[in-house]
Structure 1
């Protein structure tokens, strides 16, 4: 009767769990598994890559932050990844939506549109569209970020 391994592999004959894990790792990643890799590492890495395949990987912002941390670049590691620009009170924002122009006044504490007070741009974007929007994105305050470039410190290059 075949033995079972905790990863769910059915072991028969000369096959070992490690051999099967190495085969799966090579099939999934297209290269041989590292020689010193433990079965536990291979199992976790296979699971991670399967999740990436089904649900997507890390965002560009997260990859960039991890690269900065790995390079020990304190300035880059502390920089917010998605900082909303600060708008000075008294500024006016204009947005055209379905043929109508909306004017928003920036206040010390919140925003005003058509004589009504709002606590956030997101609240205003919802009021205008009826759907959930990022307020700063709706009003054009956030630009689409460029692809995160590899960062390096002291010659150590980490691809993001």
Structure 2
């Protein structure tokens, strides 16, 4: 990548959201979608490169689609599931509750708390508190009221 392209992409992080929306209008010649800032930044970065270096070749697009099919078997529900919302396996989540420190280890297919496997953080939060909690909120991974 040339320095000017790298510099343009780097400035996206410090650009205000209204200015990102303006850039979207200039680069895509459409109104920006009502997506979050991170989405706008990533799509604008891609578009800047696309305009400079050209689009992907049809053969490359077909290959990427085939790889995607191999990974998810063509199942749309798998494709739509977010993968970046889960902490990396081996991560330790620590929460103090009523003066007691509770430690949960993230596993590849669930969680471990006090030597027992759990499928969800909510089940662990319920075990700790005795009441129904959103496990992501209880362990501070998401703010209360935040969407998934």
Larger RCO (alpha carbons 8 Å, 6+ apart) = 1
Larger radius of gyration between Structure 1 and Structure 2: 1
Asked whether the two chains share a fold, i.e. TM above 0.5, the reply is no
Higher strand proportion (structure 1 or 2)? 1
TM value normalised by structure 2: 0.42
TM value normalised by structure 1: 0.39
Higher helix proportion (structure 1 or 2)? 2
